[in-house]
Amino acid sequence: MRIGIPRETRPGERLVAATPTTVAQLVKLGYDVVVEAGAGAEASFSDTAYRESGAAIGDAATAWSSDVVTCVNAPDDASVAQLRPGATIVAMMAPAAHPERVAAFAERGVSALALDAVPRISRAQALDVLSTMSNVAGYRAVIEAAEVYGGMFTGQVTAAGKTAPAKVFVIGGGVAGLAAIGAAGSLGAQVRAFDVRPEAGEQIESMGAQFVQAQAAQQAVSSDGYAQEMTSEQERLTAVMYAEESAHADIVITTALVRGAAPRTLTAAMVAAMRPGSVIVDLAASGGGNCELTVPGSTIVTDNGVTIVGYTDLTSRLPKHTSQLFGTNIVNLMKLLTPDADGQVVLDMEDVVQRGMTVTLAGEVLWPPPPVQVSAVPAGAPVEVAPTVDPAVRALEEKEAARRAGQRKLVGYGLGAVLLGLSVAFSPAAFAGYFTVFVLAVFVGYYVISQVSHSLHTPLMAQTNAISGIILVGALLQLGNDSWWVTSLAFVAASVASINIFGGFLVAYRMISMFRKDA
């Protein structure tokens, strides 16, 4: 069978569904590959490179009339008319939002596989183009924000003074949100993020960001990996949180999409409360925008100096690597559809992955697919919405709680002082001197170590190893003392010091090995 790679017909699109590298992989699966002339030019892939990888170069008609046609975006009406009845078309189709496309494919008698309808299960991750595109878009969103933002992302300490790091707030902890968190964190920004799905909190924190807690506004654990429509009460509670977070942020990146539709997360009033020079990058602009003021495809500056980036082509702004990743998703799909690696497509509707992304089969409409349970996490109990409390009553309760906590602390301090006085009064005279040295050592050690920068923890560990060595020598000298009490303490001190020394050097060795190049 022949696979056709046509040139993208959407205006401004720079991506291509296959690269020279992925073409060679398709050829190994037994397929003949034809690439439309100039299809990869915008992504810096020449026709010569495609020929060297085993593809033939043809015109648009040849590519569209192939047995299997793979493209990035859904074909327009003219391109659908060029499809051969019985052929297979593989592309992103948004079938739920565009039923007319489904009807057109059925009328043409083709089998249509929607790349953006891949079930969110582990086995399908290798061909999930939504994750691929979202990952690129999240990374590119930070690049766009860095270009517009009037400051540096990372904090600086120089002879001329210091600058604070940028504060970034990411709405959504999906693939795009996590990519944005990672990119912003790697640039040195302080990142906070929120997602209505509670299971996303651990992923957000694993990327180095702080997960904004808003339990009453969060949903139960999702069963399909996607966020659901929020209730009116959840929307109200999240709006309060969004307003507070955006007012303190330098950069806000929104990524919320529910089945291709963009819920409203930032209102005009929230934008008006942001500081001049702040930046909003709306990754959901293609679905209408999360921000009320977003203009899809454009960048605007509000009256109070907030820049809102609403580009819908972020993935096309990195065409080379995006095309490579997208093409790899296609290869993984074709491996699934070609079990014998003989160049013949075999569609298996018993496979939940293939069934989930099949929109039409030989002209028969199969959309929407049956639901697939993809989460191994049991559904949690519904989150109860906390009752609304009068702010004045809440303030009084907090003040009373603080007063009681202060009283308990004072009582504790008083009891400690009494016990300390009694112990000093009834102990030998030498005890007071030893105890004074011990207390001073605790205070000095605490304040010295707490003020050490994280970057100096490794040399600090070496210093504590040296101190532990001194402790070990002193403990060894006391072993065999006539007093069993002194001998017991010496044994414990020697054991603990040995653990600290050997454990510290082992950790230091492993850390240094991370930066050692193989010979």
Active site residues: 120, 125, 128, 131, 226
The CB-based long-range contact list for 348-357 (8 Å cut-off, 24+ gap) reads 352/119, 352/121, 353/118, 353/119, 353/121, 353/123, 353/124, 353/127, 354/113, 356/117, 356/118, 356/119, 356/124, 357/113, 357/114, 357/115, 357/117, 357/118, 357/119
- The arrangement of strands across the sheet holding 2-5 comes to 56-58, 32-36, 2-5, 68-73, 88-92, 111-114, 358-361, 364-365
Q: CA 366, CA 369: separation in Å to the nearest integer?
A: 6
Q: Tokens for 297, please give them.
A: 């495809």
Q: CA 45, CA 36: separation in Å to the nearest integer?
A: 12
The CB-based long-range contact list for 86-95 (8 Å cut-off, 24+ gap) reads 86/110, 86/111, 86/362, 87/111, 88/112, 88/113, 88/345, 88/347, 89/113, 90/115, 90/330, 90/333, 91/17, 91/115, 92/116, 92/129, 93/117, 93/359, 94/260, 95/359, 95/367, 95/368
Q: Which helix (H) or strand (E) holds 112?
A: strand 111-114
Beta bridge partners of 158: 161
Type of residue found at 284: A
Cβ contacts of residue 102 below 8 Å, gap of 6+? 93, 95, 112, 359, 360, 365, 367
